[in-house]
Amino acid sequence: MITSDPDVAPVSLRKRFPLRHFRQVPGPELRRLFHRLPEPFGGSRDRDLLAMALGATLYVPATRADLTSTILRRAERGVCSMVIDLEDAVADHAVEHGKWQAARTVDELAESGEAYPLLFVRVRDARSIAEIVDRLGPGASALTGFVLPKFDSSCGAEYLHVLMTAAERLGRTVFGMPVLESPTLVHRETRDRELGRIGALLAEHRERILAVRIGGTDMCSTFGIRRDRDLTIYDVRVVADVIADIVNYLGRADGTGFTITGPVWEYFADHARMFRPLLRTSPFAEVDAVPFRQSLVSRDMDGLLREISLDRANGIQGKTVIHPSHVAVVHALSIVTHEEYADALDILSTGDGGVAASEYRNKMNEMRPHRTWASQIMLRAKVFGVANKGVSFVDLLKALVES
């Protein structure tokens, strides 16, 4: 059954298996770690809530032979959003097979009786959206939306028109996630005009744009750059400048902006290092987890942790990931700390403005300037939960990596 009300979630097995972050963590461990538990969100059609809940969005090739079982297995391990990829991950000669398998997989997941993540298909072009929708059977209730690669002012209108048609065909909201990565956006002399045009296109379809994704790899490719694993994307200045402008145009907190998600981290295996690790030893020593720190460093997770922190500092939520080991890292740093939560509660408790010392006695909370930040913290707290007082990111990360 497909609902005809676009504000109601599709009838699916998520009603039996509520999608919630950290479902894989045992109850006693959750109670030890969390002051406020994460809430279910899988049945929601609240765009802002779902955008925040994306977290680590894991990509998987559409041509993978065990695609259905892979998605179910990842869901059991805590993945809450996945993209079936028909673009860069699929060879040109295999695209038609990939389209067939993507539709079949979504159908199988809808009928599986198992919990599955928020599901998206990354297409190669607008035409493929209609092809996937036409091939869906029971999966029509399971597909959350589409990822729209190389989105720019020349192809964006067609993408969004076909997305709107797909929503009409299915009788419900079908979300789009445009990926910004094209040369006209990257090149300095055309960027401002391009961002203005993209912003106008997205504003016309605001309610069906779940998030704007940043394609860091393609941006680097414009200059023949491949980012080294010892560096974050913010060390690549020509790309960092583009990210800053995307947030400036499209990430504003005045009601005109969108959720912006972070670019992919490409590395996951050990290597000979040129620079010192980015993780201090002392937080790990305090909880007797120095070997755990070494394990993170050996797999380049210290660089990922640093980049996620910089994403957050630059107004970016969530991240594209291509390896399952990255999911726990992204999600651990998405949990709201007890200190952040206490500050947000204080800031939102009054509408009179003013300044007050933090409950933690280490900063000043300004009630008006920090109000938007506090609202974002409360939204993140709803889907990722709030850590108990005294629980550090090391405790959270260790629990998620080992669960």
Confidence of residue 45 (pLDDT cuts 50, 70, 90): confident
pLDDT of residue 299: 67
Confidence of residue 117 (pLDDT cuts 50, 70, 90): very high
Query: Which stretch of 217-231, 294-308, 326-340, 367-381 has the lowest confidence by average pLDDT?
Result: 294-308
Query: Which residues 6+ apart lie within 8 Å of 78 measured at CB?
Result: 21, 22, 23, 24, 25, 327, 328, 331, 400, 403
How many Å apart are CA 140 and CA 171, to the nearest integer? 10
Q: Tell me what the mean pLDDT of segment 272-285 comes to.
A: 67
pLDDT of residue 59: 97
pLDDT of residue 8: 39
Is residue 276 predicted with pLDDT exceeding 60? Answer: no
The secondary element (H helix, E strand) that includes residue 175 is strand 175-180
Please report the DSSP string for 31-74 in residue order.
HHHEEEPPPP-TT---HHHHHHHT-EEEEEETT-TTHHHHHHHH
Confidence of residue 277 (pLDDT cuts 50, 70, 90): low
What are the chain's domains? 46-334 (3.20.20.60), 339-384 (no CATH)
Q: What region, left, alpha or beta, does residue 72 occupy, with left being phi > 0 and alpha being psi -120 to 50 degrees?
A: alpha
Q: Which residue has the tokens 């300095």?
A: 188
Residues 88-116: tens digit of each pLDDT: 999 999 999 999 999 999 999 999 999 99
Of the two residues 348 and 297, the one the predictor is more confident about is 348
Token pair in block for residue 157: 């209108």
pLDDT of residue 2: 36
CB 336 within 8 A of CB 386: yes
pLDDT of residue 10: 45
**What residues pair up with 260 in beta bridges, in sequence order?**
212
How many Å apart are CA 375 and CA 370, to the nearest integer? 9
Is residue 290 predicted with pLDDT exceeding 90? Answer: no
Is residue 11 predicted with pLDDT exceeding 70? Answer: no
Q: Which residue has the tokens 């920090």?
A: 370
Is residue 280 predicted with pLDDT exceeding 50? Answer: yes
Token pair in block for residue 133: 């929708």
pLDDT of residue 293: 75
pLDDT of residue 275: 58
Residues 240, 246, 249, 254, CA torsion sign: negative
Helix 156-170 / helix 188-204 crossing angle, nearest 10 deg: 20
Confidence of residue 9 (pLDDT cuts 50, 70, 90): very low
Of the two residues 287 and 176, the one the predictor is more confident about is 176
Confidence of residue 218 (pLDDT cuts 50, 70, 90): very high
Of the two residues 275 and 45, the one the predictor is more confident about is 45
Query: Which stretch of 5-14, 78-87, 214-223 has the lowest confidence by average pLDDT?
Result: 5-14
Is residue 64 predicted with pLDDT exceeding 90? Answer: yes
Mean pLDDT of the chain, nearest integer? 91
pLDDT of residue 334: 97
Of the two residues 43 and 72, the one the predictor is more confident about is 72
Token pair in block for residue 242: 């583009």
Token pair in block for residue 122: 């990354």
Q: How far apart are the first and last CA of the chain?
A: 36
Confidence of residue 17 (pLDDT cuts 50, 70, 90): low
Would you call 348 exposed, middle or buried from its count of C-beta atoms within 10 A (0-12, 13-18, 19+)?
Answer: middle
Q: Tell me what the mean pLDDT of segment 309-337 comes to.
A: 95
Centroid of chain to Cα 145: 14
Distances (CA, A) of 82 to 15, 158, 193, 199, 373: 19, 24, 32, 25, 27
Centroid of chain to Cα 186: 22
Is residue 288 predicted with pLDDT exceeding 80? Answer: no
How many Å apart are CA 367 and CA 389, to the nearest integer? 23
Confidence of residue 340 (pLDDT cuts 50, 70, 90): very high
pTM, two decimals, is 0.90
CB 339 within 8 A of CB 89: no
The secondary element (H helix, E strand) that includes residue 118 is strand 118-122
How many Å apart are CA 184 and CA 194, to the nearest integer? 7
CB 152 within 8 A of CB 198: yes
Of the two residues 12 and 66, the one the predictor is more confident about is 66
